[in-house]
A = this chain, B = another copy of it.
């Protein structure tokens, strides 16, 4: 169980996440579930009025509902009871500025993915984070599902032997037709989402997960991006061939135009000695097939699941944990790291969270996909 010490929750602010937002609310659920964070301040929306209304609905004190993130950073940094961490849950193009500012103020940052909307910003933010004493946590939330931790652990322990294949896919259907809701609007607008469409929104998750579980780096890729819906300015489907370090190969397929798929993030890894399969929509199970033995269904907290999964699980097997629990694990890992940093104690090496470097790699992945696709799917380096 991740939760250890509830004695004093971490004081949290939020940038973005006003009424009608999706991911902001997810971050709040995640922050609340384990009790390690308490939301106390926010610059929640694009106008002072909307921000006030959203903050009031969340029970924030009126004087800690801010017009914009600059105001929040300035005032909270001066308060003795100011926020210790900030969650940044704005559209992609608005991650960079607040992240940079809060890092510079020494306030820990928990930021949604992808890191930024372009590679230049990503590099700058990485530089800023390296120089800052504050932590930077990127919410590649799928890395915190217990059975993903289990899978990573099994790979690291050599249970699959040398890895040959890393196959991921992330399939959705919500952009099958032209959509005009708030979510679709900014995610298909290159000004706000960046040059990547599906590759940024969901492809980066699959990319990050492939590397996280396999322990390998993508060295080269060849991509074929498509925009199937007429008038769409970003990709809504992508086929990507991958060459990993250490000779492994793989593919990544992401799509937002595959009817019948809701959030079909699936990972399959095969090594010389065995295979693993996991699906986000059924996340409490990990299929493990040692070569020439019957496949086994490993359940979260059940027989065969180890400590790497157990420490981020809350309840017995057969009682499903889901997306919010996985997301909450990131927040609880962040809390553990923040507390260690504050107290100057050594962080438990079992604690994992995606970093700014992971975020930079994600933006490099987006950039590489676009470069390759524009060059007739030729192999390109990731760096």
The quantity of this chain's copies bound in the complex is: 4
A280-299 interface bits toward B, Cβ cutoff 8 Å, 1 = contact, 0 = none: 11111001111111111111
Residues in B with CB closer than 8 Å to A320 are 280-283, 320, 322-323
Min Cβ gap A284→B in Å is 8
Given known A-B contacts A259-B274, A272-B176, A298-B294, A224 and B237 have beta carbons under 8 A apart: no
A56–B7 CA distance with the chains assembled, in angstroms: 7
- Give complex CA distance A378, B224 in Å: 12
| Residues of chain A having any CB pair with chain B under 8 Å | 5-9, 22, 25-26, 28-29, 32-35, 56-59, 164-165, 167, 172-173, 176-177, 222, 224, 226, 228, 237, 239, 241, 243, 249-251, 253, 255, 257-264, 268, 270-275, 277, 280-284, 287-299, 302-304, 314-325, 376-379
Are B293 and A294 neighbours in the complex by a CB distance under 8 Å? no
**Taking CB as reference atom, which chain B residue is nearest A22?**
B316
> A317 vs B280: C-alpha distance in the bound complex, in angstroms?
12
Q: Report Cα–Cα, A289/B271, bound state, in Å.
A: 25
Contacts of A167 in B (CB 8 A): 253
The minimal Cβ–Cβ distance linking A261 to chain B, given in whole angstroms, is: 7
Q: In the complex, which of the residues A250, A257, A304, A318 has the most CB atoms of chain B within 10 Å of its own CB atom?
A: A318
Among candidates B249, B293, B304, residue contacting A293 with C-beta atoms closer than 8 Å: B304
Distance A293 CA – B289 CA, assembled complex (angstroms): 14
| Residues in B neighbouring A314, C-beta threshold 8 A | 25, 29, 324
Chain B residues whose C-beta falls within 8 Å of the C-beta of A322 in the assembled complex: 284, 319-322, 325
CB-defined A-B contacts under 8 Å, sample of 30: A7-B57, A7-B59, A8-B59, A28-B35, A29-B33, A32-B35, A165-B255, A167-B253, A173-B291, A222-B377, A224-B249, A226-B249, A237-B249, A239-B249, A241-B377, A255-B270, A259-B289, A260-B274, A262-B299, A262-B317, A263-B318, A263-B319, A264-B318, A280-B318, A281-B284, A282-B282, A294-B299, A294-B302, A321-B322, A321-B323
